[in-house]
């Protein structure tokens, strides 16, 4: 039982499921799901939270999968580029995507107290931002939407 998107759930299987789904998709798209890449995704899925590159690197190093920064950054670049994980700008951290494969614009709810991160989604033309872009002629290619605040649990504890 781990907090995911602020809800509890038994996810003894969902790591394996997500990994095998990733494996399948990599095969289909001729992407190389190498041991380091696979292990980094697995780490993100296990922890089910945002993790810094160096935090991940520490784990890889302890397991003999490499000890230099590029090892972690290369794996993360691969995962992010191919939609298996997201970078969370606000935290300089990374988290496994909760609905990989589907085309989507992720948005995050970040608890400033317990550091939990939930992924939800938004549109590329997120409300007024899209309107502003259309007004000015700006062509949006990517949108970062990250909210910071208190998750249900921490909000209750604080009240």
Partner DNA sequence: CATCACATGTTATAAGATAACGTTCGAGGC
Partner DNA sequence: GCCTCGAACGTTATCTTATAACATGTGATG
DSSP 41: H
Query: Which of 45, 78, 79, 106 is the binder for DNA (CB under 7 A)?
Result: 78
Q: Can residue 97 be called a binding residue for Zn ion (CB under 5 A)?
A: yes
CA neighbor of 86 nearest in space, from 126, 24, 143: 143
Residues 76, 56: Cα–Cα separation, whole Å: 10
Residues 105, 127: Cα–Cα separation, whole Å: 13
CA neighbor of 18 nearest in space, from 35, 36, 1, 43: 43
| Number of residues forming the site for DNA (CB under 7 A) | 23
Q: Can residue 114 be called a binding residue for a copy of itself (CB under 8 A)?
A: no
Shortest Cβ distance from residue 100 to DNA (Å)? 17
Q: To 10 degrees, the CA torsion angle through 44, 103, 119, 54? A: 30
Q: Which does 97 bind (CB under 5 to 8 A by kind): Zn ion, a copy of itself, DNA, none?
A: Zn ion
Query: Which of 67, 115, 121, 152 is the binder for DNA (CB under 7 A)?
Result: 67
What's the distance, Cα to Cα, between the start and end of the chain in Å?
Answer: 25
Q: Which does 75 bind (CB under 5 to 8 A by kind): Zn ion, DNA, a copy of itself, none?
A: DNA
Q: Which does 15 bind (CB under 5 to 8 A by kind): DNA, a copy of itself, Zn ion, none?
A: none
Query: Which of 1, 28, 62, 139 is the binder for a copy of itself (CB under 8 A)?
Result: 139
Residues 72, 22: Cα–Cα separation, whole Å: 18
Given the complex with Zn ion, which of 72 and 151 has the nearer CB atom? 151
Instruction: Please report, as ranges, the residues that interact with DNA according to CB under 7 A.
Output: 31-32, 34-37, 52-55, 65-71, 73-75, 78, 92-93
């Amino acid at each position: 039982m781990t907090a995911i998107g602020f809800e509890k759930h038994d996810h003894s299987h969902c790591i394996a499921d997500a990994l095998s789904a990733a494996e399948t998709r990599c095969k289909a798209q001729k992407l190389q799901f190498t041991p380091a890449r696979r292990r980094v995704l697995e780490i993100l899925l296990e922890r089910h939270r945002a993790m810094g590159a160096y935090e991940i690197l520490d784990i890889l190093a302890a397991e003999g999968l490499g000890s230099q920064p590029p090892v972690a950054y290369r794996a993360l670049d691969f995962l992010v580029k191919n939609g298996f994980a997201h970078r969370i700008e606000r935290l300089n951290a990374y988290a496994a995507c909760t609905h990989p494969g589907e085309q989507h614009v992720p948005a995050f709810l970040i608890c400033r107290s317990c550091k939990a991160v939930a992924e939800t989604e938004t549109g590329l033309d997120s409300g007024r931002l899209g309107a502003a872009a259309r007004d000015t002629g700006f062509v949006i290619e990517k949108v970062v939407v990250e909210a910071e605040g208190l998750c249900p649990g921490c909000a209750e504890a604080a009240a």
